[in-house]
Structures are given as structure tokens and as C-alpha cells.
Structure 1
Amino acid sequence: MGRKPAGTAGQGAVTRADVARYAGVSDAVVSFVVNGGPKSVSEPTAARVREAIAQLGYRPNSTARALALGSTRTLGLVVPDATNPFYAEYTVAIQRAAAKLGFALLTISSGYDPAVELRGMLDLCDRQVDGLLLARGTGTTGAGELARRGVRTPVVLIDSTSPYPGHITIGSAAADGVDAVVEHLLRVHDHASVSLIIGDTADADTDGRETGWLRAHARNRRSPGQVEPAPFTRTGGHDAGIRLLQRTRRPTAIVTGSDLQAVGLLRAVRELGLRVPEDVALASFDGTEEASFTWSTLTTSRQPIDTMAEAAVSAVLVAQANEDGHEPGASEHRVFATDLVIGESCGC
């Protein structure tokens, strides 16, 4: 060993047979080492095969390997907006969690378009991904359509605020998270009420954020502030902030349903010649890295993205391994607690 076998250099891609000749083993042994089975190989022999692979620059045929294993070692992820810091950080966390287990990740951003989302999901399924992770906000429609078409790819819903029949759902305790930031503004900073900018696509009955906002006011015997629905975007937060802050009874404190809305709201405050937190205190929900780089830094309820990502990847792989994992009746809603992160925007 130590030289390339004759007939391989400069004559196209290195094959498994080349590796076998170089290592002095059979093609089958190379396959067992590359695929981790089905038969075991002694460590000295496996080391010789790995050295041959490294020396020759052999890259296994992923299609053939997938056929042999019955798995592409690939997961699919569909999110509504890959530019949203929350989904961007969630995607990176899922990619890391998948890589730890030897899986690659294919990602699609639907732009909140159900047609784009469905085409993306079907394309990922055509590529034989081992499982799909769908953001709950738009993913429930697509998950139902996949089931109607008889697609057997396991599906786990992430960013989910409530259960969904027949699926494992992963989400944070949104009601408790918003309750905590509103409680902080009411009790620690003694605001009479807190207004809420919430996503215009959020279902108040299942989303949780508005529920937590109301609960904190009720517990403190305060009348809730105004609610301003707006898209979960910077523009949405900005425009909702302008509407709220130009009212005759201007709120002294506002909570947003996402960090992205809070970023837009900060700009609205600045444009109107107001100051944070002196004229209006702010807090948000999400806890992305962006919240720590705003001015003032945001007080926020942080979702445990890394933990949720690991749980989502684990759940979809368990469903993939279990032939009944995709059947109705496999419902389970997993909820993760948020952390209150104190910044300067609340007045602390």
C-alpha cells in the first residue's frame, strides 16, 4: 500500500474496486466499512480501508448507497421565511443536530405561499428524504395534503403552539413566555397596561402569546392595553408601532410577538422622536441573537432553539425508524420552557 493502483490515476472517478485492490480486501469489505455493516469488519482491516479511501480520494456513490441502506441520510425542512432570524437560527440548529447523527439537511423557504410550500414538500419527498420538518404556521395544510396523497414520509411539525392529530409537534411555552415579559413590565416597572403587537396570522385560541398577555393583566388586576395585529416582519412591527404610538392614549409599554416585529417597532419609536425606554418600554418574544444587538437591547422571552432542534430531529428519525410512526394516533405535543432575558428596552 502507498501507491495508487494502476489504471486509476487520470482515468475517471475512483471506484470501490480501486479501494478494495489498494487495501487488499474484497469489494464487499469496502462496502461494509463505508455503510457501517451489515457485517462487522475487524478494526485493523477497517483502518486499512479508511486509509485507502483517504489516499485515493474515494467518494461513495450516494444514490447506490441510499439504495443499499434504504435511506438517503437526508432530512427536509420547510420554513415560511428563511430571512427571519428565528427561522434562520432554527435552521442552523437543525442542521447541526442532523449532522451529529450523520444526516444532511435540504431546506426550502416558502415565503408563506401554500403553493410553493406544497411543491417544495413534494420535491423533497421525491428526493427520498428520510423525514420532513415543517413549520406549524403553514405546515399543517401541507401535512394534510401529503397524507391525502398517500405520501409515507414521516412529518414532524416545529414551531407548533398546539397539538396536531397524527403528528409529533415541537413548540415552546409561548403563553408562559409572553406572560413573563408582561408580568415584568407590569410589576417591576409598574406600567398601568401593556399593548400587544401580534402576528396577523396568529390564531388567538391556539397561538398562546395573546393568552399569556391577557393572563398577566388579569393576575395583576390591570386592564389590557391595545392589540395591533401585523405581519411577523420588521415592516409589520414598524407600521403597527406607528399606529399605536400616534393614538391619543399612547401606550407606555408594548410587547411584540417576535423579535423581528420589535426591530421594526424600534425604528417607529425613533421616527416619532420618542425614546426607549423613557417614553415607551419594549419587550419581545423569540430571543434571537438579533435582540442582543438592537439599541436598546431587547428584553425578550427566549425560545430554546438548540434544544427544540435536537428534539425535532430525534423525533423525525424515530418516526422514520418506526414503520407506524406516520400513522394517525402518533400524536404528541412537546413543549419547551422559555427564558426571560433582561435587556435595556424595558427600563432595567
Structure 2
Amino acid sequence: MSDRPPPKVVTRADVARLAGVSTAVVSYVVNGGPRPVAPHTATRVRDAIAILGYRPNLTARALKLGTSGVLGLLVPDSSNPFYAELGLEIERATSAKGLALLLASSNSDRSLESRLIGDLAGRQLDGLVVAGTAGPPIPGVGRVPRVSTPIVYLDTPVPVPGYTTLSSNAQQGATLLTEHLRQVHGHKSVALLMGTHSQPWRDGRELGWQLAARNGNAADPPIIRVPFTREGGYEGGLQLLTVAAKKRARAVLASSDLQAVGLLRAAHELGIRVPEDLAIVAYDGTEESEYSWPPLTCARQRVRDIAETAVQVIVDQAEPSHQTFDIDLVIRRSCGCTPTS
């Protein structure tokens, strides 16, 4: 144990004393106003701050100004490549606005997600972006606490009164992928690996696949419901690919890149070649889809546009609205196209 006293906390008054100015002038320099400070005086204050190692009390500043300069991001799984890329893009967008980002993960636990929303909202954040499991509080179905902090909900394909909601056009993406397999590669039947979730609306990926896959088909193509994970894709792949050869799927749409990666492993273990024996396409378009083997043909979400829009809505304190973002079809080897296609 040391007998040394704890280090003294440097205060604004200490900075003012060393710089030879008032504490109000120190505040003007630190906060960029509201009154101008002569350049040579501002330089003395900044030098004093550097010498003393002064750190403003951000909590007190937030209470005084009504803004913290911090946004929150809540995701269901921070280890998922899609949410990792989303977090990176939102961090870039907040940094460009001179803001900081606080990230939290609910581990796809609805009760934990609800508690985290309340906790983050109580930390004087300027706004909160939620890509969650429970979704926004839809009238008659609401499950999350209502808070005064501005919240932007992602992955929400329907307008919700009182909230800004952003969503990729999942139905468009699934339709593009399914039609590509049917029209370009001649697959009459396209199976679907569909992720499981508890949202109160039907997933656009399933709707888009259904519209395109059933077009002209006498029988419904197979659908396997498994989690949005590598493990889910692997287990779903085994279900699809271990049936009798003549009934085995020849083309599959995976509702996430992670499922597609698990499906690739299942096919490899069973000696099924991709794309020669099995064509695979996926929804999301993360970097993982580009570096799997073979690289995945995918419907890529415009993550940067979504992130920048979410941050801008909070910064502008915009009125609640709903916005849908188009999907980009990216052609690679896994569907059977050549690299020059």
C-alpha cells in the first residue's frame, strides 16, 4: 500500500490561474463559445490545459448544455460481421460530425435489449441507433420502454408513429437473387434458408423469395428455418443436402452471409461442389461474403448510406419518418457465374 495521497484533480480554476485568465474564458475556449476569445489568449489557455492535463467534466457539461456529444448504438450481436460493419460506418459518421459513439450488444436477448435502451437513454446521450431484436414499440405490440432520447430504429420495414425507421429493401434483394438463379442459371426450384426472429412483421427476404421462387412452380420450393448464424446455416445445409439425390436442392438462397458460410461447410463435408452441384446466393453482402470460397453472389445492403442517414437524422433532430434503401446485386462465383460475368 502506498502512503502517497491520491493525485489532485485539475480544475478549470487551475487552468485559469496558470493562463492568467478567468474561469469563464477557459470555458469559452473549451466549449468553443458562446463568446469569442482572442487567438493569443486562447493559445495560452490551451497550453495551460496541456501542461496541467486538464480534462473537462463531460457529465457536468452535458447537464449544462443539454448535449453530450455522444450517440449510442445498440446491436443484437457485435460479433456478427454485418453489425461490425454497421458499427464501423456509424462510428465514421459520428466522428465526421465531431461526436463520439457508445456501443452496446444485447446478445439477441429481448429483455436485456429493453433494459439497455432505458440505461443508455439515461446517460444523457444525444441520440440512440437501435438495430435490435424486439423492434420499436408498435401500437398494441410495444415491448420496449418509451424514452425522451431520440431513437432511430434500423431493420424496421414499416413506419412506426413517433420514430424514425430505416430499412433495406429485403424483398427486393431476395427477389433479385432468386430471379438470377432461375432466369440466368435455369434453376426451376430455389430453396430458402430462412433465419428465425420474433419481429411482428413477416420478413421481406421470405416474401421476395416466395414471389420469385413460386412463379410458375407447381410445387412450393423447400424452406428451412434456422438461426441467422454459421451454425444455423450448417445445420440447415445438412437438412437440405442429406436427402435422396434426386430430391436434393440444386440452388439455395441463404438469408444471411453467415448462414451461407455454414452451408458452404456442410456442402464441402458432403462432397457437394459449389457451384457445380449446388448454387448458393446470400443476403447481406458483408466482407465475409467476398472472402469465402467460392466468393458469394449476394444482395448487398447499403450500410454506409444507412449509417450516415441514421446519424444525420439525430444531428438534425428531424421529424420521425420512414426510409427504405435499395439493394445492390453483386455477382460472384457461388451461383455459377464466371469472374468475368
- TM-score with structure 1 length normalisation? 0.86
How far off its partner does 1:19 sit?
2.5
How far off its partner does 1:297 sit?
0.8
SS at structure 2 position matched to 1:316: helix
Relative to structure 1, the CA distance from residue 268 to residue 11 in structure 2 (aligned partners, 3 Å threshold; closer, same or farther) is closer
How far off its partner does 1:128 sit?
2.0
Contact 1:282 1:346 in 2 (8 A): yes
How far off its partner does 1:49 sit?
2.8
How far off its partner does 1:122 sit?
1.7
Q: Work out the CA distance in 2 between the residues paired with 1:120 and 1:95.
A: 19
Q: Work out the CA distance in 2 between the residues paired with 1:179 and 1:43.
A: 60
Higher relative contact order (CA 8 A, sep 6+): 1
Moved more, 178-187 or 54-63: 54-63
SS at structure 2 position matched to 1:146: coil
Relative to structure 1, the CA distance from residue 204 to residue 123 in structure 2 (aligned partners, 3 Å threshold; closer, same or farther) is closer
Amino acid of the structure 1 residue aligned with 2:327? T
Equivalent in the alignment of 2:116: 120
Equivalent in the alignment of 1:215: 211
Matched, 1:176 2:165: no
Q: Work out the CA distance in 1 between the residues paired with 2:135 and 2:199.
A: 14
Q: Work out the CA distance in 1 between the residues paired with 2:233 and 2:10.
A: 55
Amino acid of the structure 1 residue aligned with 2:298? T
Equivalent in the alignment of 2:144: 145
Matched, 1:252 2:250: yes
Matched, 1:343 2:332: yes
How far off its partner does 1:141 sit?
5.0
Relative to structure 1, the CA distance from residue 206 to residue 92 in structure 2 (aligned partners, 3 Å threshold; closer, same or farther) is same
- For structure 2, the 5+ residue unaligned runs are 1-5
Q: 2:62 aligns with which of 60, 66, 77?
A: 66
Residues 23-42 of structure 1: pairs in structure 2 closer than 5 A: 23-42=19-38
Residues 155-170 of structure 1: pairs in structure 2 closer than 5 A: 155-170=151-166
Q: Work out the CA distance in 2 between the residues paired with 1:71 and 1:286.
A: 34
Q: Work out the CA distance in 2 between the residues paired with 1:75 and 1:204.
A: 27
For the aligned residues, what is the CA RMSD?
2.3
Moved more, 268-277 or 205-214: 205-214
Moved more, 201-210 or 91-100: 201-210
Equivalent in the alignment of 1:197: 193
SS at structure 2 position matched to 1:335: strand
Equivalent in the alignment of 2:3: none
Equivalent in the alignment of 2:50: 54
Moved more, 98-107 or 245-254: 98-107
Q: 1:269 aligns with which of 267, 270, 275?
A: 267
SS at structure 1 position matched to 2:174: helix
Contact 2:110 2:133 in 1 (8 A): no
How many residues are treated as equivalent by the alignment?
326
Name the % identity.
49
Alignment deviations for residues 115-171 of structure 1 (CA, whole Å, 9 cap, x no partner): 111221222122222222111532325975322xxx311111012222222211111
SS at structure 2 position matched to 1:127: coil
Equivalent in the alignment of 1:279: 277
SS at structure 2 position matched to 1:138: coil
Alignment deviations for residues 235-283 of structure 1 (CA, whole Å, 9 cap, x no partner): 1111111111123311111011110111111111112111111110101
Contact 1:196 1:228 in 2 (8 A): yes
SS at structure 2 position matched to 1:262: helix
